[in-house]
Amino acid sequence: MVSAVPAVVIAAASSGSGKTTIATGLMGALRAAGRRVAPFKVGPDYIDPGYHALAAGRVGRNLDPVLVGAHRIGPLYAHGSHGADIAVIEGVMGLFDGRIVEEPAAAADPIAAGSTAEVAVALGAPVVMVVDGTGQGQSVAAMLHGFCTYDPRVRICGVILNRVGSPRHEQVLRQACERVGLPVFGAIRRDDQLSVPARHLGLVPAAESGGPARAAVEAMSRSVAAGVDLDALVRVAAATEPAAGVAPWTPADEVGEPAPGRPLVAVAGGRAFTFGYAEHPELLAAAGAQVVTFDPLSDRLPEHTSAMIIGGGFPEEHAAELSANTALRRDVVALAAAGAPIVGECAGLLYLARELDGHQMTGVLPVDGRFSPRLTLGYRDAVASTGSPFHDIGDRVVGHEFHRSVVVAAGGGDTGTCAQPRGDIAPAWTWRRVDPVTGARSTVDDGVVIGSVHASYLHLHPASTPRAVRRLVAAAARWADAAEIDRRPVGDTMTRR
């Protein structure tokens, strides 16, 4: 059992209020003040944790009750905050916004599943509201009163004012907060330097932005350090309650006995494939894998790769460079043809396709990818439609979609977000969709399973599917044995026997 690491949850009334700016700046300011900060993000967001990591000097992690189950939030928090003095948890959307449910009975609880409020209650952590002062004055008091009284399980303990226009504006907003008994921990003035590079799916990942991302994080940290009472926030964080005594999540306990021989699992990274959860490489290693990251923009597959994982990212922004790395594309085709286990999620699905927006990809899958103006976004209760080295038919998972692309069957018409079964390929997942206007229900197929390749748009959190991680590594070990791969640790000379 472990003691609770103090935490503060940074929330707001809505998206766009500046949570990322304030939370990231707070992480950086606390770190500069000598604190060991554990950064967290509520929800499935892959991008904000990259900025958190820059600010905190420690890997950013997600807390998503929908993807991993509410029972895992405390253990994952204990795991991710181990060794820290304080945790800063950035919320998602508005404080009480979460998964949208279609059944009225499921919406009876005022705290929505996956919401910032659910995570704050689960951890017993105090909430600080970020108030966007743009166009607001005394009415802020009514808004805050509503949030404070909506559900007594959520402990809102103060406010940080953001985008304040002038000293007079700040005074008006402070008076509004005083009317509802909420202390103001600080105020941040409007500042264009605090903006972060953005594009069609939100912020540009820190790993892609490079210098501009670092500059933005440094500006956020300086601004928060100058405008916020850090000592007062540390005292508030000390009020974190029920997380004490929660056993931390442990990768080794989740996957059990490691596979023999330490097969090499290559994980795509670099600027084109930045989406991933921190727990994934931890689980792979615990399951017995050597985990090696490679950059599809410039690298070849690591020698003696026995399995490959290509996660999410923005391949459409780098399609020409990905296509130009013909040596890697040949490596991937050869690996798939040899029957090694391969997993693609979203961007990985597109890279395994024949082409993406006219740029040649690997061609492992008989589908083509296209950028689309339509955003596909949301949680999915999915069922495995086809058996694979990773999932049995009928396995149930909760995943998340987030993309502006579609794939179409090679030589065929647009099939929406997935390739229809054709020949020896079959869909990876099936789920039910409810039309938000008519209420009509339909079935959606997503992804492709062909041989030992499993690819789809669905993002899964590996902490919720440790069995699939264990199966992947075990399949890699079996394949390596069959292919007579010499699996000495990376760094030694490695050759086929």
Active site residues: 346
CA–CA distance, 14 with 155 (Å, rounded to integer)? 18
Residue 34, both tokens: 């000598």
Q: What are phi and psi of 83, to 5 degrees?
A: 85, 0
CA–CA distance, 210 with 206 (Å, rounded to integer): 6
Please count the other Cβ atoms lying within 10 Å of the Cβ belonging to residue 146: 11
Element (H, E) at 149: helix 140-150
Q: How far apart are CA 69 and CA 50, in angstroms?
A: 23
Nearest to 130 by CA among 87, 169, 171, 91: 91
Helix H or strand E segment including 232: helix 230-237
CA 126 – CA 155 distance, rounded (Å) = 5
Instruction: Report the alpha-carbon distance of residue 44 to residue 194 in Å, rounded.
Output: 23
3-state helix vs strand vs coil in the chain, percent to 5: 35, 25, 40
